[in-house]
């Protein structure tokens, strides 16, 4: 089609920008560009897509598309679906923002918080009761960090396990 309606063109441009930039942002939060782009693509797609469509839309290799689709399935941000009479695997994104948030919070906790807590625990334990100025300073700092991070972790769990509506109520209290 040579001539495209202005509205269609606008949408296409906006969507392309969204996908490209979401990919760039992804690298900021420690997920690779392709993974973030696929996520953006599927979140804003009106229908499920197969691997080849993803490859085509983002101009990436099959291996790259495949790896990142699987990773997104692992996270729970997208799911594989089967279409009757089609041998290919299709994928669709979770679109509920609260769900997306809780999934990401859970994953971040697993990768960023839990190892930190484990380390802090270990270091606090190993230096408990040691004498001397240096040991005191070290132990206190590590202990303080441990308590704070453990606490923050519990809070995060609590909030992430709420129903969307309840979380909104809580937020209203805080902001109000």
Partner DNA sequence: CATAATTTTCATTAAATACTGAAACTACGA
Partner DNA sequence: TCGTAGTTTCAGTATTTAATGAAAATTATG
CA distances from 67 to 38, 58, 141, 154 (A): 11, 14, 41, 32
> In the window 26-65, what residues touch DNA (CB under 7 A)?
27, 31-35, 50-52, 59-64
Quick count: other Cβ atoms within 10 Å of Cβ 150?
Answer: 15
Distances (CA, A) of 120 to 1, 87, 112, 130, 146: 61, 49, 13, 16, 5
Provide, rounded to whole angstroms, the least separation between the CB of residue 37 and its own copies: 13
Q: How many residues bind its own copies (CB under 8 A)?
A: 56
Q: Out of 59, 63, 84, 132, point to the residue binding its own copies (CB under 8 A).
A: 132
**Choice between 66 and 145, CB closer to its own copies:** 145
* Residue whose entry in the numeric block shows the structure tokens 């230096």: 127
**Given candidates 61, 74, 141, 169, which one binds its own copies under the rule CB under 8 A?**
141
Least separation in angstroms between CB 77 and DNA: 16
CB atoms within 10 A of CB 28: 8
Dist CA 167 CA 164 (whole Å): 5
Q: Establish if 89 lies at the interface with DNA (CB under 7 A).
A: yes
| Virtual torsion, Cα 63, 18, 103, 99, nearest 10 deg | -130
Min dist CB 127 to its own copies, Å, is: 5
Binder of residue 67, out of DNA, its own copies, none (CB less than 5 to 8 A by kind):
DNA
Binding status of residue 82 toward its own copies by CB under 8 A: no
CA separation (Å) from 94 to 19, 83, 91, 122, 150? Answer: 16, 18, 10, 38, 29
User: Burial of 105 by CB count in 10 Å (0-12 exposed, 13-18 middle, 19+ buried)?
Assistant: middle
Sole binder of its own copies in the list 70, 74, 151, 169 (CB under 8 A): 151
Binding interface with DNA (CB under 7 A): 27, 31-35, 50-52, 59-64, 66-68, 70, 85-89
Binding interface with its own copies (CB under 8 A): 7-8, 10-11, 13-15, 17-18, 21-22, 25, 28-30, 43-46, 95, 97-98, 101, 111-112, 115-116, 119, 122-123, 126-127, 130-135, 137-138, 141-142, 144-145, 147-148, 151-152, 154-155, 158-159, 170-171, 174-175
């Amino acid at each position: 089609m040579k001539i495209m309606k202005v509205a269609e063109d606008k949408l296409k441009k906006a969507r392309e920008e969204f996908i490209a930039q979401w990919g760039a942002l992804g690298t900021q939060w420690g997920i690779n560009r392709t993974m973030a782009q696929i996520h953006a693509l599927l979140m804003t797609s009106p229908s499920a897509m197969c691997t080849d469509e993803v490859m085509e839309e983002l101009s990436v290799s099959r291996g790259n598309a495949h790896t990142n689709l699987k990773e997104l399935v692992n996270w729970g941000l997208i799911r594989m679906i089967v279409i009757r009479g089609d041998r290919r695997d299709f994928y669709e994104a979770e679109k509920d923002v609260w769900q997306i948030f809780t999934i990401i919070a859970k994953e971040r906790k697993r990768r960023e918080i839990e190892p930190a807590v484990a380390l802090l625990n270990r270091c606090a334990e190993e230096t408990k009761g040691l004498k001397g100025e240096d040991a005191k300073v070290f132990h206190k700092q590590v202990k303080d960090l441990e308590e704070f991070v453990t606490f923050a972790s519990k809070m995060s769990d609590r909030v992430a396990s709420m129903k969307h509506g309840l979380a909104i109520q809580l937020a209203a209290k805080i902001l109000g």
